[in-house]
Amino acid sequence: MIPAKVKIVEVGPRDGLQNEKEFVPTETKIELVNRLARAGIVNVESTSFVSPKWVPQMSDAAAVMAGIERRPGTIYSVLTPNMRGFEGALESKADEIVIFGAASEAFSQKNINCGIAESIARFEPVAKAAKDAGMRLRGSISCALGCPYQGEVSIESVVDVVERMKALGCDEIDIADTIGVGTPKRTREVLAAAQKVFPRERLSGHFHDTYGQAVGNIYAALLEGIEIFHASVAGLGGCPYAKGATGNVATEDVVYLMNGLGIETGVDLDQLVDIGDFISRAIGKPSSSRAGRAIFTKKRDGASACV
């Protein structure tokens, strides 16, 4: 049975913007986070406390966190690869920290400059500190459906990292298709295997849309009972360490899908479409959301149009 309600985690301000070459003004990032929360997104991945040498776009993490409004009940998450990042997260009063590992050794090296086992060892003190501070802890697993460097990634290696993240005390674990190569069959297999070792209701699907499979993969994940999905408004993004990977699945497309299935999201699609237009204009790129473009054009022109 597919779920009656899902949680959408909006990752545009982080996963979406981190790949932008031109620095996006802090004020724009703040407005983006605020508008998304007001549109009904209950979990906004807002920024990353990572090395500015590695991801310069996220160098204003503290200012973004200081500038956003905090809506009661909304979870504002940040990425933290190490204790330095955790300290920034704690100071900024983030609600949730995200440790990010990979199911592929090669990607782990490129993204966080260490192998899988070493990354887990580095996350240990971060996870403990988060728990001691009463913060939510999420673990993200990149390349769960394929890797840009090593190609195929076995289901066993995904399950192995899920178990390690579980042992660290993760409240939620993300199964991420970093380069968008996954297809519905593989998605179902990986998610079925993951939920044998971690509670289904705390597993999430994080799909990039490089090969146009993301909406199909989300439907496949729903058939596996998954209730949490990550998406990026206007389909923003890519990954600095996965060349050619496009953005996450667009939030507008996911909400449109859920509305059509009668699945509750609590997100106002109309507002989301306007936010997609706002951020697309701000970064000077067209939205890659199909539903977003169609709805925006219809609103503007007052009739169904070819977009």
Which residues lie near Mg ion (CB under 5 A)? 15
The span from the CA of 159 to the CA of 164, in Å, is: 9
Contact status: 82 vs ligand HMG (CB under 6 A): yes
Contact status: 76 vs ligand HMG (CB under 6 A): no
Cα diameter, the chain = 56
With helix as H, strand as E and coil as C, how does 176-195 read? EECCCCCCHHHHHHHHHHHC
Contact status: 46 vs ligand HMG (CB under 6 A): no
Nearer to ligand HMG by C-beta: 214 or 257?
Answer: 214
The span from the CA of 161 to the CA of 194, in Å, is: 10
> Which one of 143, 147, 170, 239 is the catalytic residue?
239
Size of the site for ligand HMG (CB under 6 A): 28
What ranges make up the beta strands (E) of 30-93?
A: 43-48, 75-79
The span from the CA of 124 to the CA of 106, in Å, is: 21
In terms of DSSP bridges, do strands 203-207 and 228-231 run parallel, antiparallel, or are they unpaired? parallel
Contact status: 149 vs ligand HMG (CB under 6 A): no
Contact status: 81 vs ligand HMG (CB under 6 A): yes
Contact status: 54 vs ligand HMG (CB under 6 A): yes
Q: In the complex, what is the shortest distance from the CB of residue 252 to Mg ion, in angstroms, rounded to a whole number?
A: 18
Read off φ and ψ for residue 64, nearest 5 degrees.
-65, -50
Q: In the complex, what is the shortest distance from the CB of residue 251 to ligand HMG, in angstroms, rounded to a whole number?
A: 15
Binding mask 228-267 for ligand HMG (x = CB under 6 A): -----------xxx--------------------------
Q: In the complex, what is the shortest distance from the CB of residue 16 to ligand HMG, in angstroms, rounded to a whole number?
A: 10
Binding site partner of 288, from ligand HMG, Mg ion, none, Cβ cut-off 5-8 A by kind: none
Q: Give, rounded to a whole angstrom, the gap between the first and last alpha carbons of the chain.
A: 35
Nearer to ligand HMG by C-beta: 51 or 259?
Answer: 51
Read off φ and ψ for residue 79, nearest 5 degrees.
-85, 140
Residue 243 DSSP SS3: coil
**Which segment (111-119, 192-200, 218-226, 299-307) binds ligand HMG by CB under 6 A?**
111-119
Query: Does the annotation count 147 as an active-site position?
Result: no
The span from the CA of 211 to the CA of 52, in Å, is: 30
The span from the CA of 21 to the CA of 207, in Å, is: 22
Contact status: 140 vs ligand HMG (CB under 6 A): yes
Residues near ligand HMG, by CB under 6 A: 15, 18, 48-55, 79, 81-82, 84-85, 100, 111-113, 140, 142, 176, 178, 206, 208, 239-241
